[in-house]
Amino acid sequence: MGKATGFMEIARQTPADRDPRERLADWNEFAPQLPVVDLKNQGARCMDCGVPFCHTGGMIANMAAGCPVNNLIPEWNDLVYRDQWREALDRLHKTNNFPEFTGRVCPAPCEGSCVLGINEPPVTIKNIERAIIDRGFEEGWVAPRPPKSRTGKKVAIVGSGPAGLAAAAQLNQAGHLCTVYERSDRVGGLLMYGIPNMKLEKQIVERRVELLRAEGVEFVTNTEIGKQISAQELRDRFDALVIATGSTIPNDFFIKTPGRNLQGIHHAMEFLHANTKSLLDSNLADGQYISARDKHVIVIGGGDTGNDCLGTSLRHGCKSLINFEVVPQSPAERTSNNPWPQWPRIHRMDYGHKEAAAVFNYEQNPNKTLPGDPREYAIQTIEFLGDEAGHVRAVRTIQLDWSRPSESGAPFTPIAGSEKEWPADLVFLALGFRGPEQTIAQQLQLETDARSNYQAEYGKYSTNIPGVFAAGDCRRGQSLIVWAINEGRECARECDRYLMGKTQLP
């Protein structure tokens, strides 16, 4: 490495986000970038470690460990330290088609597996990645690269999320004519409508889409395969078909909970999708979204989606905001059963949690028991209460003791006498997703697995129908964007092999 002792001399440094109260007044990204001199120093912290676990992506204890797209992280850290930014960009693009997305919204499993992170704060890999690609666009280094020749083969790609876009980018570079079908009015799938603007501004997505379009990829929006065009018709018209529709059927663990059908209870993506569309269409002037303004809001479920519901509700101007987590609060540091290089399962305050804490004084809120955090842990919703008009007015809960499994086999026991009623005008269910919609599978007679995902072996991606491939969340289940990019790239490789009998794609 350029500075072999850098990790001993330089402390981890990340940019300070914009003040929570300031950023709640807009929908712009809240994370700035470090100055170049500081980024060079952070690159110098990358150790000359014998085995860099950061770029050896895999699954350990059912969690991502290291980078799923195998980014050449030590190499571009060293190049940034040496001020060789153009070369760093070339290294980055060798493995990742869309570093401007992962550099913003990936949870950075690479940092969780950083060797330095065993006993020190890890290298700021995610910030450096974003800085490399942002500078690449600023300097004009990122430009359309149409393939030098065409094979004459045509590939249809269903879904324009990260997996579909990655597959299109790779297959187009191999010379195939790619057409991407998207049922929404804008390209990007989860990147466009599943992630709020303050985490990923949509001009960032549109900029990459325009690059792909300039390279020869065709995009068809407002077209749902299985409805406007049958899946079989699409298969007949193209030499190969890649399905990358994502996992879009939301989990709902409250189907049998009293009051579930009350008005004002929504799945999280209903809320997030409509808000972003209205924001892009009219800056929210058209009113075609679920407004949390002056409402008591409860978000059930954690993770990124629940956090995004917090941030969006705050920007609307909600009256109160609480987040329920059925699991106990994570520890402040790694425990013995969560060793490196596993993803560290520790307590974190994400942007929405910090914003909520800045707006509402949870220490003095009579409806909040944990100080400084909008989340209530080890809590279960047992009833939704409504008013005379059939609209939700409150949520009734009970606390859970996770140290005592119940006789019914549940890993917890409800605590008698801990029932509580929380005011609620809006309830958002952020409970994850249970699989893809089944229309395409039914029309093509695709085999599915026990979780209703399209059956296709990881690394091969071919379904039971020759020439039909599946990649991303519709194949593996709900996962990270970086895994979707990984699968889209690898699926393109196998699709190219099917079309040409061999492949040079990575």
Domains in the chain, CATH or no CATH each: 6-138 (1.10.1060.10), 154-249+433-500 (3.50.50.60), 252-429 (3.50.50.60)
Residues 491 and 485: their CA atoms lie apart, in Å, by 10
What average pLDDT does the segment 260-267 reach? Answer: 98
Q: Give the dihedral of Cα atoms 454, 456, 457, 461; nearest 10 deg.
A: -120
> Tens of pLDDT along 420-464?
999 999 999 999 999 999 999 999 999 999 999 999 999 999 999
- Closest to 433 in 3D by CA, of 112, 161, 166, 29: 161
According to DSSP, the residues that pair with 84 across neighbouring strands are: none
What average pLDDT does the segment 58-79 reach? Answer: 92
> Tens of pLDDT along 202-247?
999 999 999 999 999 999 999 999 999 999 999 999 999 999 999 9
> For position 367, what pLDDT does the model report?
55
Side-chain half-sphere exposure of 359, counting CA atoms within 13 A: 25
> How would you classify the pairing of strands 218-220 and 177-181?
parallel
Residues 206 and 209: their CA atoms lie apart, in Å, by 5
In one-letter notation, the amino acid at residue 199 is K
333: left (phi over 0), alpha (psi -120 to 50) or beta: beta
In one-letter notation, the amino acid at residue 495 is C
- Closest to 23 in 3D by CA, of 201, 183, 178: 201
pLDDT band, very low/low/confident/very high, at 48 (cuts 50, 70, 90): confident
Residue 369 has pLDDT above 60, yes or no: no
Residues 24 and 18: their CA atoms lie apart, in Å, by 10
> For position 64, what pLDDT does the model report?
85
Backbone angles phi, psi at 65, to 5 degrees: -135, 120
> For position 324, what pLDDT does the model report?
97
Residues 506 and 499: their CA atoms lie apart, in Å, by 16
Token pair belonging to 147: 């393939």
DSSP 430: -
DSSP string, 244-289: -----EE--TTTTSTTTTSBTEEEHHHHHHHHHHHHHHHTTTT--S
Q: What is the pTM of this model?
A: 0.95
Contacts of 475 (CB under 8 A, 6+ apart): 453, 454, 456, 458, 461, 487
Residue 484 has pLDDT above 90, yes or no: yes
Contacts of 281 (CB under 8 A, 6+ apart): 288
What average pLDDT does the segment 373-395 reach? Answer: 97
Token pair belonging to 69: 């797209």
pLDDT band, very low/low/confident/very high, at 366 (cuts 50, 70, 90): low
> For position 365, what pLDDT does the model report?
56
What average pLDDT does the segment 461-480 reach? Answer: 97
